[in-house]
Amino acid sequence: MKLGISSCLLGTMCRYDGGHSRDRFIVNELSNYFEFEAYCPEKLVFPTPRPAIRLVRSNGEVTVRTTNENEDVTNTITDISKELVKKIEDNQLCGFILKSKSPTCGMERVKIYPDKKNGQSENVGVGVFANELKNKFPYLPIEEEGRLGDPWLRENFLMQVFAYKSLHIFLDSKPSFNDLVKFHTSYKYMIYSKSHNYYKELGNIVANHEKESIEIVLEKYKKLFLEAIGQKGTIKNTYNVLLHIYGYFKKVISKEEKDEILESIEDFKNGIIPLIAVIKIIKLYTNKFDIEYLKTQIFLNPYPKDLALRSKVEAYK
């Protein structure tokens, strides 16, 4: 699996001052699961070190200027960003991690400076390259390294990345309607944990009441599935999923066991224990009673367990 990464986050000394912004989580942990494809628009057109650039609002337009001579380099940065985004199409990326606050790579809240010295700066900008990337690939999982310090955003991003890759592997297999039913069924509870409405809409697409061709149905499903996995999971939705799953055990376990699992689900809801604690109990009963339907649910195994993304209470909001 390939992740696109802003080059400086890997330790490449390509920043304007000749330095880097090496990120430990990316380099030390994600490198065990992903192949990285590095990108830096600025180093392709400017030397390192070089004058810094920034976003400047001038006559209502946002431009890119050098900080030393106030040179307008908007066209240069825009052209190289478009060129890089075209190349990404051939690299089969399943996600992208951008450098925060960068005038080229910042995903949001990039500072826009006023053209006049007495003007007010704004933290509302988007980096030029990041903007081209988001416009070209609206469903590609994209995050900033700074935001990945938040356990909730980290868990949601990596869940989205693995689901994004899984969908494209599935579509490349030339699936039949039966294959689509199996795929959708395996993602039932994951999608439910993100949005009940998306789950219902995807179910209607799979049901294919209009008797459309497999090609049309798959295209509809792809678009809506990618929108669905881009939603952030919530405690409320996840709590509802856990209660649905509990329904598979309640007739075959003792009262004490029922009390234990229901107490764990409530503790998760109240932020006392992390999701992984509940998942471990669910997996125990899934294997004990050999419940095949639950064994296929991606919700219970959305990514390698060594990533430990569900081990923090803060991973769900």
- Tens digits of per-residue pLDDT, 185-244? 999 999 999 999 999 999 999 999 999 999 999 999 999 999 999 999 999 999 999 999
Q: How far apart are CA 124 and CA 47, in angstroms?
A: 28
Task: Please identify, among 119, 149, 179, the residue that sits at the C-terminal boundary of a domain.
Answer: 149
Long-range contacts of 18-27 (CB under 8 A, 24+ apart): 18/48, 18/49, 21/99, 21/145, 23/145, 25/145, 25/148, 25/149, 26/97, 26/145, 26/148
What confidence score (pLDDT) does residue 88 get? 84
Domain shared by 135 and 212, yes or no: no
Domain shared by 272 and 159, yes or no: yes
Domain shared by 207 and 142, yes or no: no
Domain shared by 186 and 312, yes or no: yes
24 token code pair: 């430990």
State the distance between the two ends of the chain, measured CA to CA, in whole angstroms: 28
Domain shared by 191 and 281, yes or no: yes
Task: Please identify, among 149, 175, 210, the residue that sits at the C-terminal boundary of a domain.
Answer: 149
Burial class (CB within 10 angstroms; exposed 0-12, middle 13-18, buried 19+) of 300? middle
Domain shared by 28 and 164, yes or no: no
Residue 105's φ and ψ, nearest 5 degrees, are -105, -10
Q: How far apart are CA 33 and CA 1, in angstroms?
A: 7
Domain shared by 241 and 103, yes or no: no
- 313 Cα distance to chain centroid: 19
What confidence score (pLDDT) does residue 121 get? 87
Domain shared by 204 and 246, yes or no: yes
Range of the domain at 88: 2-149
- 76 Cα distance to chain centroid: 29
Domain shared by 265 and 303, yes or no: yes
For residue 9, CA distances in Å to 4, 105, 145 come to 11, 11, 8
Q: What is the pLDDT along the chain (317 residues), one digit of tens a residue?
A: 999 999 999 999 999 999 999 999 999 999 999 999 999 999 999 999 999 999 999 888 999 999 988 899 999 999 999 999 998 877 789 999 999 999 999 999 999 999 877 678 898 999 999 999 999 999 999 999 999 999 999 999 999 999 999 999 999 999 999 999 999 999 999 999 999 999 999 999 999 999 999 999 999 999 999 999 999 999 999 999 999 999 999 999 999 999 999 999 999 999 999 999 999 999 999 999 999 999 999 999 999 999 989 999 999 88
The 8-class DSSP code of residue 27 comes to I
SS3 316: coil
Domain shared by 98 and 177, yes or no: no
Domain shared by 211 and 300, yes or no: yes
Residue found under tokens 């609002």:
57
What confidence score (pLDDT) does residue 286 get? 96
Task: Find out whether 232 and 248 touch, Cβ atoms under 8 Å.
Answer: no
**CA angle (252 as vertex; 284, 316 as ends), nearest 5:** 45
Which residues fall within 8 angstroms of residue 88, CB to CB, at 6 or more apart?
4, 37, 39, 133, 136, 137
Task: Please identify, among 100, 123, 149, the residue that sits at the C-terminal boundary of a domain.
Answer: 149
Domain shared by 236 and 313, yes or no: yes
What confidence score (pLDDT) does residue 90 get? 73
Residue found under tokens 């990618």:
226
What residue spans of the chain are helical by DSSP H? 24, 41-45, 74-88, 128-136, 151-172, 177-186, 188-194, 196-207, 214-229, 235-246, 255-269, 275-288, 292-295
> Total domain count for the chain?
2
